């Protein structure tokens, strides 16, 4: 996969040249460069903004893909897990069977004490 960050071609084949051609005049109009050196800076600024937009899109796609992978892994790991209420029911009945009242009347304690 080519990222195009160091390419001399600003608009990649999977991007819209028309869209870039629409952005550049807006930068030129906004900054009104006086002479070639300033025009060069405006073009570089436009190119940098274009590449940053590409980077943000790639970052968003990569993070989204990573979350999808993690969700799939987690779903696979927890398919056989019973709901918490179903797995706690046997514990509750065992606990009540193992409880007794103390001779001091201060409550219940496990029979193992």
87 or 34, greater pLDDT:
34
17 or 75, greater pLDDT:
17
Could you give the CA distance from residue 99 to residue 43 in angstroms, rounded to a whole number?
80
Instruction: Read off the pLDDT of residues 84-107 as tens digits, 9 standing for 90 and up.
Output: 665 556 655 556 555 554 455 555
Instruction: Read off the pLDDT of residues 50-68 as tens digits, 9 standing for 90 and up.
Output: 999 999 999 999 999 999 9
Q: Give yes or no for residue 45 having a pLDDT over 80.
A: yes
Among 40-49, 66-75, 102-111, which range has the highest average pLDDT? Answer: 40-49
List the structure tokens of 109.
């304690």
Q: What integer best gives the mean pLDDT of the chain?
A: 79
Say which residues have a Cβ less than 8 Å from residue 111's Cβ, sequence separation at least 6. 98, 99, 100
Q: Give yes or no for residue 110 having a pLDDT over 70.
A: no
């Amino acid at each position: 996969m080519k990222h195009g960050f160091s390419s001399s071609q600003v608009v990649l084949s999977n991007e819209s040249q028309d869209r870039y051609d629409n952005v550049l005049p807006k930068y030129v109009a906004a900054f009104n460069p006086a002479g070639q050196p300033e025009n060069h800076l405006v073009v570089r600024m436009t190119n940098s903004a274009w590449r940053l937009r590409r980077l943000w899109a790639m970052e968003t796609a990569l993070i989204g893909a990573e979350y999808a992978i993690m969700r799939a892994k987690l779903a696979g790991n927890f398919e056989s897990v019973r709901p918490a209420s179903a797995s706690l029911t046997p514990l509750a009945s065992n606990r009540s069977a193992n409880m007794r009242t103390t001779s001091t009347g201060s409550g219940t304690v496990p029979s193992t004490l």
